[in-house]
Amino acid sequence: MTNWMRRKDIEPGNLASHHRLNRTLTWWHLIALGVGAIVGTGIYTLIGVGANLAGPGVLLSFVAAGAICACAALCYAEVATMIPASGSAYTYSYVVLGEILAWVVGWCLILEYSLVVSAVAVGWSGYAVGFLNSFGFELPLAMTAGPHAGGILNIPAIFIIACVAGLLILGTRESATVNAVLVVVKIVALLVFIAVAVPHFYMSNFEPFMPYGFAKHEVDGVQRGVMAAAAIIFFAYYGFDAISTAAEEAKNPERDLPIGIVGSMIACTILYICVAAAAVGSTTFTAFANSPEPLAMIMRGLGQGTAAAAVGAAAIIALPTVILAFLYGQSRIFFVMARDGLLPAGLATVNAKTGTPIRITALTGVIVAILAGLIPLDEIAALANAGTLAAFIAVAVCVLVMRRRDPARPRVFRTPAVWLIAPAAILGCLYLLWSLPSQTQVFFLIWNAIGLVGYIARSIFMKGTAPAV
């Protein structure tokens, strides 16, 4: 008998009203949520980092990362419709693989979401401060940077997190609608970038195409190569998993979840490849490699100051939608972990008026605001990728296990060629994990060791006995 069959209590319909989320989202809300999470910091900033690691081959890096994410997205779509409960990869792992593996996956997701929200908030702060400076409003360094950068507290980063958390507390549908409007704005800005850059396109800018090779290897003290870049700009793709955290709030999850997950991945992959091709084709990659604002820099280099200003303004609008999607996802994962008893049960309470888990959303906002306001994240941002890759591997494993364990169970959406797609997702994610910087891999192992110690300690103090590991 499967964990799902034993754990009927986690089905939304069997939960008490104060533990049950309201179904208010449609498929277009979910696509917008996915695009809002995917299109943001990655394409607006990481294309410069990717170019520094891979040269013009960053175009291939986007293709490789997108292909691996697409395989994982197809696995997510099948599992999400079979287990339409909040919690994303954590819940799927709990149902299929058991509590201890679910804890590990949940711990990885906490790492992913916390770092993403905090890093994006810091990035938004940089854009916002620069925008204000251009109008003569200069804020003191003490208020706009953490201690690592010579300041005291990054107040703009904390401010934007507080705004987004407040929006989520007001209601899921309201925040999803605002998100959809902002998504349209930033997509239009990227289309403007492509339209302006294409007339300046020269094939000579793609030569040599892979100056640092394909696989990860050290060049001038930095680990470079097409796949080294793919392991970093993978950050630009994930976000579709935030859609699966909305399963309990979708009006028709069996239909809406696959549309939202697969639809957002297809749209973003096409957009990314077009933007990357336009960027590299219009400007020598060394001109914008490692720039904090590569798209705006390219526009200025082409003499398009107005377009550069528009792209920069769109980035200020775009980044809060990423914060919204990931803060939403993290609060729902915490919510479900609390509902399962792995975190204090009092956090798993839905407010009767707003239909949202106010306590856990507020707590999540406070945690990520502290990280954004005080802690340097640039050197360990790749840790977010490590946590996500681990979660993607777990979901692909869940698909294969359920196909073996319960092949007759109805599946509204079936992953095509599952015995090819799921292993491709697993092997691809493992390869990207290997392609991450060595320091990141060590930090990731330490993080999970801390998580396992915490799980064992919780089991001892809450149950009186150590868990069977």
pLDDT digits (tens, 9 = 90+) for 113-138: 777 778 778 777 877 777 777 677 78
Query: For 329-364, b where at least 16 C-beta lie within 10 A, e where not — what string?
Result: bbbbbbbbbbbbebbeeebbbbeeebbbbbbbbbbb
Respond yes or no on whether the N-terminal peptide bond of residue 208 is cis (omega within 30° of 0): yes
Q: How far apart are CA 441 and CA 61, in angstroms?
A: 20
User: Is pTM beyond 0.85 here?
Assistant: no
What is the predicted pLDDT for the residue at 244?
63
In this prediction, residues 103-112 reach a mean pLDDT of: 83
Q: Minimum mean pLDDT among 40-44, 54-58, 81-85, 393-397: which range? A: 40-44
What is the predicted pLDDT for the residue at 237?
79
Q: To which residue do tokens 């209601």 refer? A: 171
CATH class, domain 26-463, is: mainly alpha
296-304 long-range contacts (CB < 8 A, ≥24 apart) are: 297/48, 298/193, 298/197, 299/193, 299/196, 299/197, 302/196, 302/197, 302/200, 304/196
Q: Minimum mean pLDDT among 79-83, 204-208, 449-453: which range? A: 79-83
Helices (H) and strands (E) in the chain, counts: 19, 2
Q: Minimum mean pLDDT among 11-15, 23-27, 241-245, 368-372: which range? A: 11-15
Q: How far apart are CA 171 and CA 431, in angstroms?
A: 39
Q: How far apart are CA 192 and CA 310, in angstroms?
A: 9
Report the share of the chain in percent with pLDDT over 90: 11
Residue 263, pLDDT above cutoff 50: yes
Residue 13, pLDDT above cutoff 60: no
Residue 293, pLDDT above cutoff 50: yes
3-state DSSP assignment of residue 253: helix
Residue 155, pLDDT above cutoff 50: yes
Better pLDDT: 16 or 460: 460
> Considering only CA atoms, which of 256, 317, 306 is closest in space to residue 81?
256
pLDDT band at 15 (very low <50, low <70, confident <90, very high): very low
In this prediction, residues 392-413 reach a mean pLDDT of: 89
Residue 1, pLDDT above cutoff 60: no
In this prediction, residues 434-449 reach a mean pLDDT of: 87
What is the predicted pLDDT for the residue at 100?
87
Q: How far apart are CA 145 and CA 293, in angstroms?
A: 18
Q: Minimum mean pLDDT among 22-31, 251-260, 325-334: which range? A: 22-31
Residue 2, pLDDT above cutoff 60: no
For residue 59, give both structure tokens.
């175009």
Better pLDDT: 352 or 74: 74
Residue 427, pLDDT above cutoff 70: yes
- pLDDT per residue over 208-262, tens digit each? 899 998 888 888 777 889 998 888 888 777 777 667 666 666 677 667 777 777 7
**Angle CA 313–373–163, to nearest 5:** 55
Residue 466, pLDDT above cutoff 50: no
pLDDT band at 4 (very low <50, low <70, confident <90, very high): very low
Better pLDDT: 13 or 105: 105
Q: Report phi then psi at 25, rounded to 5.
A: -105, 140
Winning range, highest mean pLDDT, from 118-122, 336-340, 353-357: 118-122
What share of residues in the chain are helix, strand, coil (percent, to 5)? 75, 0, 25
Q: How far apart are CA 140 and CA 152, in angstroms?
A: 10
In this prediction, residues 259-286 reach a mean pLDDT of: 86
What is the predicted pLDDT for the residue at 17?
46
pLDDT band at 154 (very low <50, low <70, confident <90, very high): confident
* DSSP per-residue codes, 35-65: HHHHSSHIIIIIHHHHHHHHGGGHHHHHHHH
Strand 222-224, strand 217-219: pairing: antiparallel
pLDDT band at 393 (very low <50, low <70, confident <90, very high): very high
Report the share of the chain in percent with pLDDT over 70: 80
What is the predicted pLDDT for the residue at 367?
79
CA quadruple 294, 298, 300, 303: dihedral, nearest 10? 180
Winning range, highest mean pLDDT, from 8-17, 168-177, 386-395: 386-395
- Which residues 6+ apart lie within 8 Å of 216 measured at CB? 223, 224, 225, 227, 228, 231, 434, 435
3-state DSSP assignment of residue 304: coil
Query: For 18-56, b where at least 16 C-beta lie within 10 A, e where not — what string?
Result: ebebebbbbbebbbbbbbbbbbbbbbbbbbbbbbbbbbb
Residue 14, pLDDT above cutoff 60: no
- Say how many residues make up the chain: 469
Q: What is the mean pLDDT of the chain?
A: 78
